[in-house]
A and B are shown apart, each in its own frame.
Chain A
Amino acid sequence: MAFYESIFITRQELGEKEIDKTIENFKNILEKHSADLVDTELWGLRNLAYKIEKNKKGHYVVLKISGNGEAIHELERNMRIDENIIRYLSIKTESINTEPSILAKKSQEG
């Protein structure tokens, strides 16, 4: 078992309900591959540094996962299929930090 952080950006038009639905969907995919969704983090709607697929803003979501590489591979495959996801990045981490990161704190304040 290893720890991963999977961050994805969705299109700006998406509502909170739709984002929650995609997170739920990914959670089911992970559980099917015996991986655990330990924590999620929402950074909210942020301005993108450059346009991605004509979007100037996007909702950032972080999934903190404990599992193996196969589950991450399957998760990334599904992220590519979902047209509402404009960018994703999965990173292997040494441990899972459940404290909110700098960006998450910022979105809660404002």
Chain B
Amino acid sequence: MQKEKSNYENNDSSGAKPFFRRKKTCPFSGPEGIAIDFRDTRTLNKFVSERGKIIPARISAVSAPKQRKLAQAIKRARILALMPYVA
């Protein structure tokens, strides 16, 4: 029983996963990237949680330089009451 389990784990780590997860890429980078603008709340709302918190880049897959720009834009939108601080 124990042996079986370790075999299964070996298979899993060698890349034979039961499903294939496509790697997400940064939506703002590259030639077709969207421009980050604090006025564009429809886009910005995709990168905040239901409570209005900024989603970490490791989950949204935004690149580090773009995440800094995004955070700045969200904060500006909050100052102008276009987006909530807390929802």
Contacts and interface: CB of A to CB of B under 8 A. Distances in A.
B81 A48 contact: yes
A60 B81 CA distance: 10
B35 to A, nearest CB: 11
A50 B76 contact: no
Contacts of B40: 102
Interface majority SS on B: helix, strand, loop or mixed? Answer: loop
Interface string A37-66: 000000000001110100000101000000
Interface in B48-80: 76, 78-80
Nearest to B38: A91
A103 interface: yes
Contacts of A50: 81, 84-86
Nearest to A62: B39
Given A87-B79, A89-B76, A89-B79, A49 B84 contact: yes
A42 to B, nearest CB: 14
Interface residues of A, number: 14
A9 interface: yes
Contacts of A87: 79-81
Nearest to A60: B80
A49 B76 contact: no
Interface of B: 37, 39-40, 76, 78-86
Interface of A: 7, 9, 48-50, 52, 58, 60, 87, 89, 91, 101-103
